[in-house]
Copies of this chain bind each other. A is one copy, B any other.
Amino acid sequence: MKPSESTWNMAVVKDCGACPIQRQAICSRCASDELNILDQMKSYRTYSKGEMITYTGAPVSHVGTLVSGVASISQGLEDGRRQIMGILLPSDFIGRPGARVAQYDITASSEVTMCRFEINAFEKLLATSPALGPRLLEMTMDELDAAREWMLLLGRKSAREKIATLLFMIAMKNKSLSGSDANEALDFTLPLTRETLADYLGLTIETVSRQFSALRKDGVIHVQGQRHITIPDLRRLLVEAGDDYSGSVLP
């Protein structure tokens, strides 16, 4: 099994007690009584690769948690330009309580499974639950922090720095998920196409491709096949990312 599959596409478990993402998701703070209620409310739905989960202006009937797969939040100008505002990974929450109309397009980048709640029922529970609200607030603030960090990248970083930053972040996420050792070489499979990458980084596919080649020639990354990346020296990659002093402390 390839790294990407083990990390981003784990098997879906339909029993809350055994759910692999329960500890990170919206329900992570719920006591067993609330978990039971959610268990009763939930329904699963699977979206195929490329399918739109929702789109700007669409009526919203459900909110929920992404259980497996990768999806992207995006918005476009009508001349075709498109910007991805966020990548959704397992345990991320989709939907805004209080909103009955979707603000963005959400597209499945791979096959995606969601654990969904009907929005009215969810809001009702949210209003009374002592655990749901604070957790949702925390997750929303994390997303806000991530969005703001991305604004620095979009507004001020060069193409090379953008690619390096993204690779660094994916490498770190992988490292923490797989709990691998500190300084060994990291490798992973990108779950994103060049086009998705480009839309995420505010670049074109050609520029993304060129920068990948450049980083490969300079030995910052190694590439096997189309998507499989090896990072020989994480520190080197961090320097290329531009903000070497940054928050993420390497030993």
Q: List the one stretch of A30-38, A77-85, A170-178 in contact with chain B.
A: A77-85
- List B contacts of A148 (CB < 8 A): 73, 75, 85-86, 103-104, 147
Q: A103-B145, A133-B133 are in contact. Are A75 and B152 (CB under 8 A)?
A: yes
Q: List the one stretch of A63-71, A136-144, A189-197 in contact with chain B.
A: A136-144
Q: How far is the CA of A156 from the CA of B81 in the complex (A)?
A: 7
Cβ–Cβ contact A98 & B138, under 8 A: yes
In the complex, what residue of chain B is closest to A200 when comparing beta carbons? B155
Please give the number of chain A residues whose Cβ is less than 8 angstroms from any Cβ of chain B in the complex: 39
Copies in the complex: 2
Cβ–Cβ contact A83 & B151, under 8 A: yes
Interface status of A233 (Cβ within 8 A of chain B): no
Q: How far is the CA of A141 from the CA of B126 in the complex (A)?
A: 15
In the complex, what residue of chain B is closest to A201 when comparing beta carbons? B155
- List B contacts of A140 (CB < 8 A): 137, 140-141, 144
Q: How far is the CA of A103 from the CA of B144 in the complex (A)?
A: 11
Cβ–Cβ contact A202 & B82, under 8 A: no
Q: How far is the CA of A143 from the CA of B104 in the complex (A)?
A: 15
Chain A, 96-126, contact with B by CB distance < 8 Å: what is the 0/1 string?
1010000110000000000000000000000
Interface status of A150 (Cβ within 8 A of chain B): yes
- When the two chains form the complex, which single residue of B78, B104, B138, B202 contacts A155, counting CB atoms closer than 8 Å? B202
- List B contacts of A149 (CB < 8 A): 75
Most buried by B among A96, A147, A201: A147
Interface status of A134 (Cβ within 8 A of chain B): yes
